[in-house]
Amino acid sequence: MSCGPVCTNLGLKPGQRLTVKGRVAPNATGFVVNLGKDVSNLGLHFNPRFDAHGDVNTIVCNSKKLEEWGAEHRESNFPFQKGGIAEITFAVNQNDLTVHLPGHQFTFPNRLGLSVFDYFDTQGDFTLQSLSWE
């Protein structure tokens, strides 16, 4: 899986929002946006799957603590298109993250209890075009 830019001092705290925008590859099987403390401790592993690991048009979310994955959470609302532009906003709250997608939003618990999200990366069939936070 190809890897995009990596940020290790993001400093994203409760009350802040991170908006990720990029292009999905025309032949995409899936992509990943990770947010957390570091590569071994991910508060949110956001993984839209067009056709990967037995999932079709499904968003799979998870967390990872000390290299151990948690329980997967699946969302069937799938606003992404191969070859299209994807825009995802992650709002950090005290106890969870709210994921804002076109026409849909959901929350994912802050299982690691992180007070700051310093780590960010993208992987897979996705080319990051912009990253903004407020």
pLDDT digits (tens, 9 = 90+) for 56-114: 999 999 999 999 999 999 999 999 999 999 999 999 999 999 999 999 999 999 999 99
pLDDT digits (tens, 9 = 90+) for 25-52: 999 999 999 999 999 999 999 999 999 9
Q: Determine the pLDDT at residue 6.
A: 92
The model's pTM is 0.96
Looking at per-residue confidence, does 1 or 67 come out higher? 67
What CATH number has the domain bearing residue 26? 2.60.120.200
CA distance 128 to 125: 10
Whole-Å CA distances, 24 to 32, 36, 85, 117: 11, 23, 6, 24
Domain total for the chain?
1
Parent domain of 32: 3-133
Above 60 in pLDDT, residue 1?
Answer: no
